[in-house]
Structure 1
Amino acid sequence: MTKVGFGAVLAVAEFRAMWSAELLSICGDQLARVALAVLVFQRTGSAALTGLTYALTYGPSLLGGVLLAGVGDRRPRRDVMVAADLARAALVAVIAIPGVPLWVLCALVAVLTALGGPFKAAQQALLPMVLEGERYLVGMALRNVTIQGAQLAGFAGGGALIAALTPSTALALDAVTFLLSALLLVTGVRRRAAVAQAVRPAWLSATGAGIRLIWRDPALRTLVALNWLAGCYIVPEALAAPYAAGIGAGATLVGLLMAADPAGSVVGGVVFGKWVPEHVQVRLLGWLGIAAGLPLVLFAFRPGLVLSVLLLATSGLLATGYNIQGTVSFMRRVPDEHRAQCAGVNSAGLITVQGLGAAAAGALAEVLSPAHTIAVAGAAGAAVAVPIARAWRRAGLEGP
């Protein structure tokens, strides 16, 4: 059991500001995702286009995370986060204008998603400086609990809100959350100078250095691969609208299905953040990656709504165990002067594989049923996790 509690982490004023800012923007983003999914499915009736649009809320982070993440190693990290928030607020405000053509909406969503890359990279690079020692692991667990809780609220309440409001209104609320996030960061987080480097590399050189650093370290490679299993485990969210339609459910139950995984992750964050010692979590990383896919395999039997929610929540709980500790182990292993760039590569890859997984799921669901597509994704994730678990065991034995 960890000795540091959530209260000790929240006592750190800078972390409270970062935590509150992230919480606000996550709530808005999840509401926007439900709005986009419902809007596109209502317009087109196509599972493929629904999956593609959902993919655009993830996929373009490859550009922002890989090519722009290094800004957080070259500029003050708080400034990078504030600038990204203000730019995203402006973009969402345009997206919220009623009557925007679908192709324009998709293009703007792609740019919006790309800007999330440098924001998250700067944030992840700054957190180990704000929280030291054991507080970092507990703080990451608290972030997971509250972020997943925000996703839960955004997804579960999103369907009901969109039934009462227009999708444009929901998107306008998302723009407001970005503005509030920027305000919290400016007022609550100390501005630190950019990371000192003896020789500041060129932009493309720095980007390549981060990728090489990850590739040459077996432990970092394995942790990245483990994190990227989310490309398979995002499928139930991407197919929530057509799956709900297949069982005769409406927009409100789309949000409920999307909320199931975050609900399980909230429980997982408490369990792994407070009750499971860190050394045990490190040993279990690979096994948890395998186990997270198994509940999804049961969708092959076309479970009803209640069982579907329980299976998705179980998968989310198990995935949380390897997500929290995997991120902590990754960030601790990377030198500070490369931390934002490496965090960007990791996060960009994560969001990109989620986007690709969502798009592929939409296409596959046109051939198979949504339920069978979810089962295939769960089986694929568990199978891919087996060699990852073996590689982590070898890397763990070798040490840093």
Structure 2
Amino acid sequence: MGRHRRPPEEQATYREVFGVAEFRHLWFAQTLSSLGDQLAQVALAVLVYHRTQSALLTALTYALTYLPPIVGGPVLSGLADVLPRRRVMVFCDLARAVLVALMAIEGTPFWTLCALVFVTTLLGAPFTAARAAVLPDILEGDRYVVGAAVNNITHQASQMLGFVAGGALVVALDPRRALGVNAATFLLSALILVLGVRKRKAARDGGPRPGLWRTSRDGARLVFRDTTLRSLVSFAWLCAFYVIPEGLAAPYAATFGKDALYVGVLMAAMPTGMVIGSFLFSRFVRPSGRIRSMGWMSMVACAPLIGCGLKPGLWVVVGLWALAGAGGAYQLAANAAFVAAVPAEARGQAFGLAQSGILAGQGLGILAGGALAQVIGPETVVALAGAAGLSVATMLTMVWTQVRGDVLSSMFAPPAEVKVTASC
């Protein structure tokens, strides 16, 4: 008889996932760095807005946490396939600790600060690709989906807590101290990865290593020549529309008052919704149901933002943004389907390309939103972003209904030995 295999539709549990020691260490490292990142983003947003009183320059600084992938993200992500993935993550953590520490120095000129933010974010591309590529080696089947949900919930919860705590700390302390805390989290993350994640050979170990440019080109061909992968990447990139409110949180909060805590509350709204949505989606929806519901959930991620055009009160805005965040949980299903369709030796590059496109689209969206907010106000910009995103999500859903049958067949077909037993 063959080795026992988990039925394709059997759901894994959170206890199973946290029972894997490597996953716990990878998760803890992510938690530390995510908390520090969100704390730093609030500090940067408030620091720049108070210094310049410009929605455009504030959005520019925030966008610099997304734009660098346009320059080098797809190329640098190939490091996750040609070098050992743990080594890539540790190096990126250490380098970013140094760069963020330089940001915390008093008197750093604005454009120097922008350059440091740019390089720090650029190093996040190979780190994210390596972490995403190594996770399927640690968790298999629906454990991977639940593990990805845990990572997503953790990231969004870290945003929620980090943004609110960041707003409170900026009120009480110098925002540069928050940057120092972020540098320390990178150092701790590197230490945890060294101690808790085992060494693995490079995915393309043995034989000649292709150059990064060739790896990048091959990864792009793999993704864009395949109809399914192209659809899944398009769903991932849809977040370029519904991330715009976060980039406008500071000027949007200024419409309600001058308290920096309002900035943190608004920034935390969408992550809070994402935490709730991701938990419910991974806990109560069967694996095949997640694939089937991707389309309408992507529309929910955009539609509530249209209500901001009516200029409602603060807590109504928070509720609308949180509902949009809950709709964004469809990314869990897109991620799982993407993993199932990509060969292991190209996983780092494919994930890196997808992630770089996500960050690049978000950065451009935030930058465009900041420029428009200078003219027509942040409330109208957020409403327009929701309307545009809903239109794109509707078109993507129409395409997805034509290909999702093949995805469901490939992901949830019963094992061969089960078919034989049934036929007997």
Whether these two folds match at TM > 0.5 is yes
- Once residues 331 and 249 of structure 1 are traced to their aligned partners in structure 2, the CA distance between those partners, rounded to angstroms, is 45
- Whether 1:241 aligns to 2:250 is yes
**Contact in 2 for aligned 1:158/1:255 (Cα 8 Å):** yes
Structure 1 counterpart of 2:29, which letter?
Answer: A
- Once residues 230 and 138 of structure 1 are traced to their aligned partners in structure 2, the CA distance between those partners, rounded to angstroms, is 21
Structure 2 counterpart of 1:174, which letter?
Answer: N
Q: 2:414 — aligned with what?
A: none
**Contact in 1 for aligned 2:342/2:350 (Cα 8 Å):** yes
SS of aligned partner of 2:375: coil
Alignment partner for residue 265 of structure 1, among 259, 274, 292? 274
**Contact in 2 for aligned 1:152/1:259 (Cα 8 Å):** yes
SS of aligned partner of 1:367: helix
SS of aligned partner of 1:80: helix
Query: What TM-score, normalized by structure 2, do the two folds share?
Result: 0.92
Residue 200 of structure 1: how far off its partner (Å): 3.0
- Once residues 255 and 228 of structure 1 are traced to their aligned partners in structure 2, the CA distance between those partners, rounded to angstroms, is 25
- Once residues 229 and 308 of structure 2 are traced to their aligned partners in structure 1, the CA distance between those partners, rounded to angstroms, is 33
- Whether 1:250 aligns to 2:256 is no
- Whether 1:48 aligns to 2:56 is yes
Residue 199 of structure 1: how far off its partner (Å): 4.9
**Contact in 2 for aligned 1:142/1:273 (Cα 8 Å):** no
Structure 2 counterpart of 1:175, which letter?
Answer: A
Residue 254 of structure 1: how far off its partner (Å): 0.5
Structure 2 counterpart of 1:36, which letter?
Answer: L
Give runs of aligned pairs for residues 107-186 of structure 1, distance below 5 A.
107-186=115-194
- Once residues 143 and 397 of structure 1 are traced to their aligned partners in structure 2, the CA distance between those partners, rounded to angstroms, is 27
Alignment partner for residue 322 of structure 2, among 313, 318, 324? 313
Alignment partner for residue 387 of structure 1, among 395, 404, 409? 395
Q: 1:292 — aligned with what?
A: 301
Comparing 389-398 with 97-106, which one deviates more in the overlay? 389-398
Instruction: Tell me the number of residue pairs that the alignment of Structure 1 and Structure 2 aligns.
Output: 399
Comparing 206-215 with 141-150, which one deviates more in the overlay? 141-150
**Contact in 2 for aligned 1:197/1:337 (Cα 8 Å):** no
Residue 95 of structure 1: how far off its partner (Å): 0.7
- Whether 1:11 aligns to 2:19 is yes
**Contact in 1 for aligned 2:75/2:215 (Cα 8 Å):** no
Alignment partner for residue 92 of structure 1, among 88, 100, 109? 100
SS of aligned partner of 1:366: helix
- Whether 1:106 aligns to 2:123 is no
- Once residues 296 and 255 of structure 2 are traced to their aligned partners in structure 1, the CA distance between those partners, rounded to angstroms, is 33
- Whether 1:207 aligns to 2:216 is yes
Structure 1 counterpart of 2:262, which letter?
Answer: L
**Contact in 1 for aligned 2:73/2:356 (Cα 8 Å):** yes
**Contact in 2 for aligned 1:364/1:373 (Cα 8 Å):** yes
Comparing 368-377 with 388-397, which one deviates more in the overlay? 388-397
SS of aligned partner of 2:193: helix
- Once residues 328 and 179 of structure 1 are traced to their aligned partners in structure 2, the CA distance between those partners, rounded to angstroms, is 30
The superposition leaves residues 279-324 of structure 1 with CA deviations (integer Å, 9 ceiling, x where unpaired) of 111011122111211100000100101111111110000111x111
Q: 2:367 — aligned with what?
A: 359
Alignment partner for residue 344 of structure 1, among 341, 352, 358? 352
Structure 1 counterpart of 2:282, which letter?
Answer: G
Residue 61 of structure 1: how far off its partner (Å): 2.4
Q: 2:415 — aligned with what?
A: none
Residue 369 of structure 1: how far off its partner (Å): 1.3
Residue 67 of structure 1: how far off its partner (Å): 1.0
- Whether 1:70 aligns to 2:78 is yes
Residue 58 of structure 1: how far off its partner (Å): 1.1
Residue 393 of structure 1: how far off its partner (Å): 1.4
Residue 198 of structure 1: how far off its partner (Å): 5.1
Residue 350 of structure 1: how far off its partner (Å): 0.3
- Once residues 138 and 207 of structure 2 are traced to their aligned partners in structure 1, the CA distance between those partners, rounded to angstroms, is 24
**Contact in 1 for aligned 2:90/2:194 (Cα 8 Å):** yes
- Once residues 93 and 106 of structure 2 are traced to their aligned partners in structure 1, the CA distance between those partners, rounded to angstroms, is 22
Alignment partner for residue 226 of structure 2, among 214, 217, 241? 217
Structure 2 counterpart of 1:14, which letter?
Answer: E
- Once residues 306 and 247 of structure 2 are traced to their aligned partners in structure 1, the CA distance between those partners, rounded to angstroms, is 16
The superposition leaves residues 234-280 of structure 1 with CA deviations (integer Å, 9 ceiling, x where unpaired) of 11111111011112241001000000001111101110111011111
Residue 63 of structure 1: how far off its partner (Å): 3.2
- Once residues 351 and 100 of structure 2 are traced to their aligned partners in structure 1, the CA distance between those partners, rounded to angstroms, is 25
Alignment partner for residue 332 of structure 1, among 319, 337, 340? 340
